[in-house]
Structure 1
Amino acid sequence: MTHLNAVIDNFKGACMKKYLWILLFICCSALPACSNDPGRQQIEIAQFEEKQNNKEHAIKLYEEVVSKYAGSPNAKLAQERLNALKEDK
């Protein structure tokens, strides 16, 4: 029974970590929405997606920033990340 309790405790810990990551993601996503920094929200979400190893979604978000906010500092950053991600493929 002790082994089963350990497995259950590990599962609870893993679920809690997942929920904390989701909460962090929501909080980080909400903060830039209040700013006047065009494309910043997409950049931050794309960076989060990279950390989660979801490169396809990160690439789509970076491409969106490059096309919507061409010439902005965030578009430049997005293009740099796009180049790096596409080199890794």
Structure 2
Amino acid sequence: MKRVCASAVIMIALFVSGCSSGRAAELYDTAQFEEKQNNKDHAVQLYEEILKKYPDSTYAKKAGERLTQIKQESKPTGR
């Protein structure tokens, strides 16, 4: 019985981690779409949500990089 419970816990943990990765991917894809639609404010919100909710995901690193680029692009050039 203990083995069955341990196996169930492992399966649930794997399932949950897979779901969160999928949600991070979904948010990232949506943020990319928003950028292409020139809706940078919403893209920034989505990237920040990824960083907050899924900080250890590969999408968090990508989101952080995009945020840096967006902020660089939005800085005044001094002209």
> Cα RMSD between the aligned structures?
1.3
SS, match of residue 27 in structure 2: helix
In structure 2, how many angstroms separate the alpha carbons of the residues matched to 1:71 and 1:79?
A: 12
Deviation for aligned residue 1:72: 1.2
In structure 1, how many angstroms separate the alpha carbons of the residues matched to 2:73 and 2:40?
A: 10
Report the TM-score when normalising by structure 2: 0.65
Deviation for aligned residue 1:55: 0.3
Deviation by residue 1:36-85 (Cα, 9 ceiling, x = unmatched):
32411110000000000000000000000001001210100100001000
Poorly superposed stretches of 4+, deviation over 2 Å: 35-38
2:60 is aligned, of 64, 69, 75, to: 75
In structure 2, how many angstroms separate the alpha carbons of the residues matched to 1:88 and 1:68?
A: 25
Q: How does 1:30-69 map to 2 (within 5 A)?
A: 36=19, 37-38=21-22, 39-69=24-54
Q: Which runs of 5+ in 2 are unaligned?
A: 1-17, 75-79
Question: Which gives a bigger RCO, structure 1 or 2 (Cα 8 Å, sep 6+)?
Answer: 2
Report the TM-score when normalising by structure 1: 0.58
In structure 2, how many angstroms separate the alpha carbons of the residues matched to 1:67 and 1:60?
A: 10
In structure 1, how many angstroms separate the alpha carbons of the residues matched to 2:48 and 2:71?
A: 12
